[in-house]
A and B are shown apart, each in its own frame.
Chain A
């Protein structure tokens, strides 16, 4: 039988949340792509159309949760990839801090954008 290769050490909380966010993201990313490229064509996107979608609390909430889970999944994945390449000690702590800050800024800016899109700001 072929071996299973993974960057993650199983059983850790980061391993578990990477899997849980993955399950959500499979559906959310698929929905996002289909809605904004196949149902509505990207070339026809306007602020009015975006605002009409973001005005719906269900859609707005889904997009914010999508942003948070995607940011966590991506940044946690990058962090694990770097650990897998041998990152440790002080370097590991510095990288963890920089990546966490990048994730917080990404989610913060994304939420700020979302609030502009639904007319709250």
Chain B
């Protein structure tokens, strides 16, 4: 099916209190997508130290990992990636016409599962930094 939707309400962010679950899913999917593509450029830039010398690569990565802020940012990145993946699977299902009637519930499930996975990852990400 090829059709366009009137997204006027979605793009009127001043009316955010009237947003439905589907609109929030749309906004959060874009927000997390922008973060992930921005991170990809940063990631390749940091990994490019491998082109200089093995020592520079190892020192840069291990040096970054010694910073507490980096560990917290990694937890945030995991949360962003997990939500984008879960909501992305939800979007694929919606595109295939599966579970259309409960797409709002699957959005809430994506949020809850993201929170659970991010919280459960905290001990792993913060291990050894303090």
- Using CB atoms and an 8 Å cutoff, list the residues of chain A in contact with chain B: 1-7, 9-11, 19, 22-23, 25-26, 29-30, 33, 37-38, 41-48, 50-51, 67, 70-71, 74-75, 77-78, 81, 84-85, 102, 106, 109-110, 112-113, 116-117, 121
Given contacts A44-B62, A47-B55, 5 further A-B pairs with CB under 8 A are A33-B81, A38-B121, A43-B62, A48-B54, A74-B33
B62 and A46 contact, CB distance less than 8 A: yes
Say if the beta carbon of B18 comes within 8 Å of chain A. Answer: no
Known: A3-B5, A71-B40. A37 touches B124 (CB 8 A): yes
Q: Does the CB pair B89–A113 fall under 8 Å? A: no
User: Which chain B positions have C-beta within 8 A of A113?
Assistant: 44, 47-48, 50-51
Residues of B within 8 A of A23 (CB): 92
Sort chain B's interface into a size bin: 35 or more
Tell me how far the C-beta of A3 lies from the nearest C-beta in chain B, rounded to whole angstroms.
Answer: 6
Contact status B104-A2, CB under 8 Å: yes
A-B contact pairs, 7 of them (CB 8 A): A6-B26, A37-B125, A48-B58, A75-B37, A77-B30, A78-B34, A113-B50
Q: Which residues of B contact A (CB under 8 A)?
A: 1-5, 7, 10-11, 20-23, 25-26, 30, 33-34, 36-37, 40-41, 44, 47-48, 50-51, 54-55, 57-58, 61-62, 65-66, 74, 78, 81, 85, 88-89, 91-92, 94-95, 100-101, 103-104, 121, 124-125, 127-129
Interface of A (DSSP majority class)? helix
Q: A70 and B58: CB pair below 8 A?
A: no
Contact of A10 with B124 in the complex, beta carbons under 8 Å: no
Q: How far is the CA of A31 from the CA of B96 in the complex (A)?
A: 25
Contact B51 A116, beta carbon cutoff 8 Å? yes
Is there contact, CB below 8 Å, between B58 and A47? Answer: yes
> What is the bound-complex CA distance between A117 and B38, given in angstroms?
22
Chain A's nearest CB lies how many Å from the CB of B75? 10
Q: A11 to chain B: closest CB distance in Å?
A: 4
Bound together, the chains give a CA A1 to CA B103 distance in angstroms of 9
A37-B74, A113-B48 known; A6 vs B61 contact (CB < 8 Å): no
